[in-house]
Amino acid sequence: MSRCISVIVSVYNEENALERFYETTNRILKETAAAYTQGPCGYQLLFVNDGSTDRSAEILDKLREADPDHVSVIRFSRNFGHEAAMTAGLDYACGDWLIFMDADLQHPPAMIPAIMDRFAEGYNIINMVRTRNETAGTLKNITSGLYYRLINRISDVKMEPAASDFFAMDRAAAEVLRHNYREKVRFLRGFVQNIGFRKTTLSYEAAARVAGQSHYSFKKLWKLSMDSIICFSNMPLKLGIYAGFLSGLLGVLLIVYTLFTREGAPSGYATIVIALCFMFAVLFMLLGIMGGYIAILFREMQDRPIYIIEDIRDEAGTGSKEAG
Ligand code: UDP
Ligand code: MG
């Protein structure tokens, strides 16, 4: 059976970029698929139309009619967001290698041959790292740097700084993500970095958008950052415990201070201060304890895999357990 490269493209109101994207990517894919070092293979361009309200649907239909062997289109009933679009692409792509790209040519298709070379070297996951983002202003670059530093500090996974939604995985990694990490609050580029396997990075220069405008407003980026931090870290839930310890400690100091300086103060003053300090410390600690339980509930609900097996070497067939 011949093997296949799937390029997954999320599309939301990209009428002015789609044709150029198709031309460039199709040309490069054709060459790459023919010249792939491990033997020629087929390719698929899987567009996920995320409820576009412009002419994108029409253009995609035209592309598919003109090249039905290579172009597939999934159309959402409404806009569900970029993460949902990438997830649908992941689920429906039929390739042995999946490459996720934006439709605006910010992710250079010229990198596809280099990605395939990495697969040929035996890597399962290739994270594309931006060296420069021409369209993002200094503010966006600084906040993105801060965000990655924060998430790496407070969560268990190590995220590649400057990682993007441009990444590639082989079938083994895709199968894991098709069955696990099916949370509703999603951060696919984080999941990709979380599942193990042989990973490598390639750097690329993010080009300027060919047409149209970014759909990620500051508000949307803020939501994505908050969601991903909460997705990957229990730390915010545990703030209560730390606040409890801190207010307990400050309370003790304040109690000592009040006891020494209560001469001349109105009667009952020391009692009020002590009672307040005590109550706040207890309250924060209780919040922290509840946070701890919620964190466990949250992890259970996310239902992430306890382990991920890459392969089992068991020629004797002694272990027959279904693994997952
Ligand atoms: N996109 C999408 N659904 C959305 C918003 C964006 O599928 O709700 C697509 C969009 O068409 C593009 C990609 O996701 O192909 C990245 O979006 P954009 O270029 O606006 O983000 P930026 O590159 O500025 O971060
Ligand atoms: Mg873009």
Looking at the structure, do residues 203 and 295 belong to the same domain, yes or no? Answer: no
Looking at the structure, do residues 281 and 157 belong to the same domain, yes or no? Answer: no
Looking at the structure, do residues 169 and 261 belong to the same domain, yes or no? Answer: no
Looking at the structure, do residues 254 and 172 belong to the same domain, yes or no? Answer: no
User: What value does the mean pLDDT of the chain take?
Assistant: 88
Residue 70 burial (CB < 10 Å; 0-12/13-18/19+)?
buried
For ligand 1, mutation pick of 49, 59, 77, 102 (most atoms within 8 Å of CB): 102
What's this model's pTM, rounded to 2 decimal places?
0.84
- Tell which atom from ligand 1 comes closest to the C-alpha of 79: 8
Is residue 323 a part of any domain in this protein?
no
Residue reference for tokens 């103060």 = 265
Q: In this structure, what token pair is assigned to residue 45? A: 């361009």
Nearest CA owner, ligand 1 atom 8 = 81
Looking at the structure, do residues 79 and 219 belong to the same domain, yes or no? Answer: yes
The whole-number average pLDDT for the span 27-51 is 89
Looking at the structure, do residues 184 and 107 belong to the same domain, yes or no? Answer: yes
Q: Which ligand has the nearest atom to the CA of 221? A: 1
The whole-number average pLDDT for the span 279-304 is 90
Q: pLDDT tens for residues 161-194?
A: 878 899 999 999 999 999 999 988 888 988 999 8
Distance 98 CA to ligand 2 centre (A): 19
Q: In terms of residue numbers, what domain contains 64? A: 5-232+306-313
Q: Which ligand has the nearest atom to the CA of 165? A: 1
Find the residues whose C-beta lies inside 6 A of ligand 1: 10-12, 14, 50, 79, 81-82, 85, 102-104, 106, 214-216
Nearest CA owner, ligand 1 atom 23 = 214
Which residues place a Cβ less than 5 A from the ion ligand 2?
Answer: 102, 104, 106
Q: In this structure, what token pair is assigned to residue 306? A: 């306890």
Residue 281 CA to residue 247 CA, distance in Å, equals: 5
Across 124-128, 132-136, 242-246, 320-324, the highest mean pLDDT is recorded for 124-128
Say which range, 86-90, 98-102, 292-296, 314-318, has the weakest mean pLDDT: 314-318
The whole-number average pLDDT for the span 265-290 is 84
Is residue 91 a part of any domain in this protein?
yes
Looking at the structure, do residues 44 and 131 belong to the same domain, yes or no? Answer: yes
Which 3 state secondary structure label does DSSP give 99? strand
The whole-number average pLDDT for the span 2-23 is 94
Query: Is the pLDDT at 133 greater than 80, yes or no?
Result: no
- Tell which atom from ligand 1 comes closest to the C-alpha of 80: 8
Residue 91: pLDDT band (50, 70, 90) is: very high
Looking at the structure, do residues 110 and 17 belong to the same domain, yes or no? Answer: yes
Q: Which ligand has the nearest atom to the CA of 215? A: 1
Number of domains comprising the chain: 2
For the domain that residue 163 is a member of, what is the CATH number? 3.90.550.10
Residue 277 CA to residue 229 CA, distance in Å, equals: 31
Residue 323 is predicted with a pLDDT of: 46
Q: What percentage of the chain reaches a pLDDT higher than 70? A: 96
Looking at the structure, do residues 173 and 254 belong to the same domain, yes or no? Answer: no
Q: Which ligand has the nearest atom to the CA of 164? A: 1
Q: pLDDT tens for residues 63-72?
A: 999 999 999 9
Residue 222 is predicted with a pLDDT of: 87
Residue 288 CA to residue 310 CA, distance in Å, equals: 37
Looking at the structure, do residues 245 and 280 belong to the same domain, yes or no? Answer: yes
Looking at the structure, do residues 214 and 261 belong to the same domain, yes or no? Answer: no
Looking at the structure, do residues 221 and 246 belong to the same domain, yes or no? Answer: no
Distance 101 CA to ligand 1 centre (A): 10
Query: Is the pLDDT at 134 greater than 80, yes or no?
Result: no
Contacts of 75 (CB under 8 A, 6+ apart): 49, 57, 60
- Tell which atom from ligand 1 comes closest to the C-alpha of 48: 7
Residue 154 is predicted with a pLDDT of: 86
Residue 80: pLDDT band (50, 70, 90) is: very high
Identity of the residue numbered 302: Q
Distance 264 CA to ligand 1 centre (A): 67
